[in-house]
Structure 1
Amino acid sequence: MDDTKLPTLTEAKHSDYDAVMEIALTNTFRDGFDYLPARFHQYVDDPDVFMVLVERGGILEGINVYMFNDDGEALLLKTGRQNPRFRGKETSRRGRQSLPMIFKEFLLPRCKPTTLLQGVVEGHRMELRKLILEYMGFWGNEKCNLDVMYFQSEVSAINGSLASYNTTPLPPLTPYQPPDLQRLLPPAFSAAVLPEGRVLVDWDPYKLSESNMKKFVQAGLYILVDSTEPAAKSLSFGGSYMTPRGRLYHIDVHCKDEGLCKAHILNHVKKACSQYTGMITFCVMVIDQGLKETVMKCCVENLTLSHLPHDHTFTLYETDLTVMAKAAAKVKAKY
């Protein structure tokens, strides 16, 4: 393979699924709880998602996934997969070639002058931080941290734990309805609970807005809010997909109150057990690090779920497009 040639870039098609899965290492990414197999075809059909294949000499080097959110005001570096034969130093060198080309050909033409560049990255993956964050100007633009914890059990066992669950009465929650947005938008909730007015849904950042909430409802997410007036104190999102390690149900909790946090977890677990059978892995996300112990106690002690050794802390980064726009302007397309 001639490494002196610039790579060939194409948008992924449905027919590319098998080729991508061959290099994706889905059994190890996210500790085997990879969402890409379940969402690949959805991403192909979504006009706001760009899955760009990077090939050279007829060999697939990798795939990069980008997502426009907030009506084009945000561009999320969603994920990527690298062919295992090009690991280590090869990843950095090839990435420095392909990234500016991807931005020039696919992304910058869609961006607004106000579009923000976002990424959610594991803190311990230093090689990725160096390649993506330092190169793309993310250093110094940390917005928030989010903690993700994994718990697992059979539905039959969970139902038994729910039946014997004894606790003081928890705050009532109700499924989200459009009028609830008026209690979520005021600073009494959004500024106090959310990082800069953003919700994180399955780890992806979005502005708390009417259009986004409508999109979440249409996507079939289970959304819960407390009944506090005049401003709510909590909000959560739940949804499920299949992974190489079985069914995963994500629970994204936005609050600062221990009782509300427990109530959200319990309601989502009940919802999941009413919909599915067999083994379920719950991926619980909280932004307030003070709630980690609450999550652990609720899931392990109260619900008797098994705690899996896959907890991670992620950081949301944000910057403008200046760095990538300058880099992309220097690239001469040769394909």
Structure 2
Amino acid sequence: MDNSLIRCERVTKEDYEKVMAILPPSEIYNGGDYLPDYFHLLIDMPNNEMYAAVIGDKFVGFALKTTIDDGRSVVTRAVRVSKEYAGKGIAGIMSKWMDIGGPLYRPEVIWHKFSGNRTHSPLLQLTDKGIFNKTSEQDFVFYDTHKRTLEIKYNVIENENQSSKAEYVDVNLLGQVLASTDHKHYLFPDNEIVADDVPYSAIKSNAPLIVSKRTAVVVSDLNCPQRTLLSISNCFQAPIGMFFIFNVYGCLSENIKKHLLLHFAKFLSRSMSEYILLRGISSKGTSWTFLDSAVEEFGFKRIEFYGTGVVSARKRIKNKL
């Protein structure tokens, strides 16, 4: 392939259909592609930039770059290449272009970060080979149900009027938790918090980036760091159904039910398809007993879907060693 025919350019809101045409969303992540629903949300966030590889007037490649960690890190997300040009170096060409003249070139950027599915991404193998440095690894499990089932179960549990020890967290309080040495030891031992598949350093300045319009954050036992439970939820409509992404940090206990009650209060107010998938994510080696029990009360059942965990890694940018 003649590389001179390929040019890279910044993606705008008007390019939505061209981006979606690169690869059918129904064929990505077994129908769990978040980009069709997240595209406009993400492109409006000031720390996100989208780029495309273009031949003629056709988009043949795409990459989303997210800047975090006080501008010191750039995360590569949502990379995709059309079937017609798969295996022809499109992703590499885009990466090189962005390293020379894009977000990775900026003088303040030191780290290039990645997060990938442990089962389906080559990231774990690349960290094993020392090409990237692994920063954290988490397990996840999937559950599914239907919207009407969740609504009925939620109403029953909500009407029990149980006193809740859990509370919503705003951006300011989340920032305080991230800055707390005592809490960081128990919640983020790797000094990293992964939310919406973005591996943030556990620092106060990342709090406004973690909390988007789709995000809810809940905490319990904040006054006792070794028992503190912090949960973060995000949701998106995918071709296969509505996804509820549930990240859990800290002491997974019976309080998880009260966390879910608060998260579902916001989740159920959204427009969504009938089929719902819940992905619970926590530290490697987590026992899911408490989450299994809690989500079962809300009408969910455990399923096998797409992978078993997520790996985060980074590499230092060579020209800034």
Please, what TM-score do these two structures have when normalized by structure 1? 0.80
Identify which of 280, 284, 287 aligns with 1:291: 287
1:24 partner SS: coil
Residues 170, 260 of structure 1: 8 Å contact kept:
no
Which portions of structure 1, spanning 4 or more consecutive aligned residues, are displaced by more than 6 angstroms? none
140 and 320 in structure 1: CA distance in 2 versus 1, 3 angstrom threshold: closer
Residues 168, 262 of structure 2: 8 Å contact kept:
no
Q: Does 1:144 align with 2:136?
A: yes
1:77 partner SS: strand
Residues 150, 281 of structure 1: 8 Å contact kept:
yes
Letter matched to residue 148 of structure 1: F
219 and 225 in structure 1: CA distance in 2 versus 1, 3 angstrom threshold: same
Letter matched to residue 172 of structure 1: K
Listed one character per residue, the Cα deviations across residues 21-46 of structure 1 (whole Å, up to 9, x for unaligned) are 11232112222121111222333333
Q: Does 1:28 align with 2:24?
A: no
Q: Which residue of 2 aligns with 1:333?
A: none
Q: Which residue of 1 aligns with 2:235?
A: 240
CA distance in structure 2 between the partners assigned to 1:277 and 1:14 by the alignment? 23
Matches within 5 A, 1:1-335: 3-5=2-4, 7-87=6-86, 89-90=87-88, 93-112=89-108, 115-125=110-120, 133=126, 139=131, 141-162=133-154, 172-177=165-170, 178-179=172-173, 181-182=175-176, 185-217=179-211, 219=213, 221-229=215-223, 231=225, 233-275=228-270, 279=274, 280-299=276-295, 301-312=296-307, 313-322=309-318, 325=319
Higher helix fraction (1 or 2): 1
305 and 7 in structure 1: CA distance in 2 versus 1, 3 angstrom threshold: same
Letter matched to residue 191 of structure 1: H
CA distance in structure 2 between the partners assigned to 1:161 and 1:43 by the alignment? 32
CA distance in structure 2 between the partners assigned to 1:139 and 1:46 by the alignment? 30
Residues 143, 303 of structure 2: 8 Å contact kept:
yes
1:42 partner SS: helix
Listed one character per residue, the Cα deviations across residues 134-164 of structure 1 (whole Å, up to 9, x for unaligned) are 7xx9635112112233322233312333456
259 and 138 in structure 1: CA distance in 2 versus 1, 3 angstrom threshold: farther
Listed one character per residue, the Cα deviations across residues 47-75 of structure 1 (whole Å, up to 9, x for unaligned) are 32221111235443211111101221211
Residues 116, 311 of structure 2: 8 Å contact kept:
yes
Letter matched to residue 80 of structure 2: R
111 and 51 in structure 1: CA distance in 2 versus 1, 3 angstrom threshold: farther
Letter matched to residue 50 of structure 1: E
Please, what TM-score do these two structures have when normalized by structure 2? 0.83
| Structure 1 portions without partners, runs of 5+ | 327-335
CA distance in structure 2 between the partners assigned to 1:278 and 1:60 by the alignment? 29
CA distance in structure 2 between the partners assigned to 1:67 and 1:228 by the alignment? 30
Listed one character per residue, the Cα deviations across residues 285-326 of structure 1 (whole Å, up to 9, x for unaligned) are 222432334333332x3333133421421100122111xx49
1:310 partner SS: coil
Residues 242, 272 of structure 2: 8 Å contact kept:
no
2:67 partner SS: strand
2:33 partner SS: coil
CA distance in structure 1 between the partners assigned to 2:176 and 2:90 by the alignment? 48
Paired residues, number: 313
1:160 partner SS: helix
CA distance in structure 1 between the partners assigned to 2:212 and 2:186 by the alignment? 27
CA distance in structure 2 between the partners assigned to 1:294 and 1:230 by the alignment? 19
Percent sequence identity over aligned pairs: 17
Listed one character per residue, the Cα deviations across residues 76-105 of structure 1 (whole Å, up to 9, x for unaligned) are 011211101122x43xx3333332122111
2:193 partner SS: strand
111 and 77 in structure 1: CA distance in 2 versus 1, 3 angstrom threshold: farther
Letter matched to residue 246 of structure 2: I
270 and 97 in structure 1: CA distance in 2 versus 1, 3 angstrom threshold: closer
1:52 partner SS: strand
31 and 4 in structure 1: CA distance in 2 versus 1, 3 angstrom threshold: closer
1:196 partner SS: coil
Letter matched to residue 122 of structure 1: N
CA distance in structure 2 between the partners assigned to 1:31 and 1:196 by the alignment? 30
Q: Post-superposition shift, 1:126?
A: 5.4
RMSD: 3.1
Listed one character per residue, the Cα deviations across residues 171-206 of structure 1 (whole Å, up to 9, x for unaligned) are 711111435654553333212221432222112122
